[in-house]
Structure 1
Amino acid sequence: MTDLDFDFLRTYLKQRSGLALTAEKRYLVESRLGPVCRRFGIASLRDLVGALKVSRDTGIERAVVEAMTTNETFFFRDRAPFDLFRDVLLPQVIARRASQRRLRIWCAASSTGQEPYSLAMLLQEAGSRLAGWHVDIVATDLSTEVIEKAKLGLYSHFEVQRGLPVQMLLKHFTQVGEQWHIAPSIRQMVDYRQLNLLNGFESLGQFDIIYCRNVLIYFDAPTKADVLARLAASLSHDGAILLGAAETVIGLTDKLAPNPEHRGLYGHPPEAGRSAAPRPLRVAALR
């Protein structure tokens, strides 16, 4: 792969997925796009670049973008954001939305479904506290391949052993051969949709809680700022956004502000002349 080919692919991927590749990631492009060439019978990466320049084969275009997308995830990843949901955010929403009895959650960059299913299990564990409520969990990802896997809710031994408490495995999953199938009642709680965060997502509506974790780290600063501003517009006035441990809004947007008590938690800043929204309760001791 020549320097010109690599520069083309860097620009191509940034325009279509927001992925900002440094020169040190050249090996990653070669290793991940080699299988794409073999899949479509393309002789070399140079020929793949040529095909992308002259052809509008959506199959090849999608395969190139999805091959470069990182889909690392597991159940209850990093644990703290889920303890925060269970112990702070959910009780807060139940109190604030008591009259409407409606809760909307968005998991952006949901990958193969472990994050939204983790939240769905916690919601089901809430039991009678949500009786009569209308709860929406919308989960989106750029990759159609991982969306289809998420919809199936079928996971390997390795996948269910990463972060999933054994009692939840036994309660919410059924073993099917060497795999584990999540219960239909959990699967039905999540609405999966293909979505590119670089494009408009106003049609999704407003959300009380947004999880957008470990995806902004792949974007450059202007792209991060743009996505964060649009996420803020999709958040209810007293809602909460959770980002990954290595992500922040500081220096990128004034539409969101960090919560002083909980790392990774953000919301709308208090407006001039308007009192601040109630501060979250303190998180109970992590289990």
Structure 2
Amino acid sequence: MLKTRVITAVVLLAVLLPVTLFAPVAAFGVLIRVVVLFAAWEWARLLKVGSLGSILYAAVASAVVVLSAELEAPRALFKAAGIFWIVAAPFVLLRKPVLAAGVWRVFLLAAGLVIFAACWHALFAARVAGVAFVLSLLLVVWLADIGAYFAGKAFGRHKLAPAISPGKTWEGAVGGWVAVMAVSIAAIALHAFEPTFYSALATRVGLGRALFVLTVLVVFSVVGDLFESMLKRQAGVKDSSGLLPGHGGVLDRIDALLPVLPLAMLLLG
């Protein structure tokens, strides 16, 4: 399993890093559209719309991304996605309705089109702002995840959401937040690799508010992770798919990014 994970990770990095670092912005946009396509397919599968339905949904989601790019209305998408993650997602996590049936399935299929389009627009806008900018924004989620893993392993005692994701702990969540705070403060203080998401945020709203915004983003990275965990638990699967051997599916890799990306660009704007 470890060997498979490593091989998959190396292949992904061999594709993602050169495109992110050196390719034109348009090529980066195409790559992210492919990612969104597969994520939408997995979203529909978790909502149990069937094989053909999942393929059609992915095609529609891809078309929405293309059409929304032509309309150039990312802020409206960011707001709509933000409403979902701030209002609907916490409600779902607290009340735990059956998601793959009835009104909830229809709602989530419709919401998914907005969520994936907003995710694409946020990443594309971040890449337009610069390589360091987009990487520093992604680093918020990566640090929160890595910090949570190691803090949870070392100090985890109190379960965060045992009915949804038994492995997550409050100590891990705090550890992820500490990691994000430490790197963000250091980057701002040292003016490292500017312009970054951290420096842009601090310039716009000041250091104190920037750290508060980063704290909010860490919270919603956890919300995104838990939301996908609930989708998988209700669907009776461990991974969103087997597209990435050793890693699960695309949604398993971007679940925390889905709320963070549009909220970050909205709060920055």
TM-score under structure 1 length normalisation: 0.26
Indicate the structure with greater strand content. 1
**Rg (Cα) greater in structure:** 1
Indicate the structure with greater helix content. 2
Query: Which structure has more RCO (C-alpha within 8 Å, separation ≥ 6)?
Result: 2
TM-score under structure 2 length normalisation: 0.27
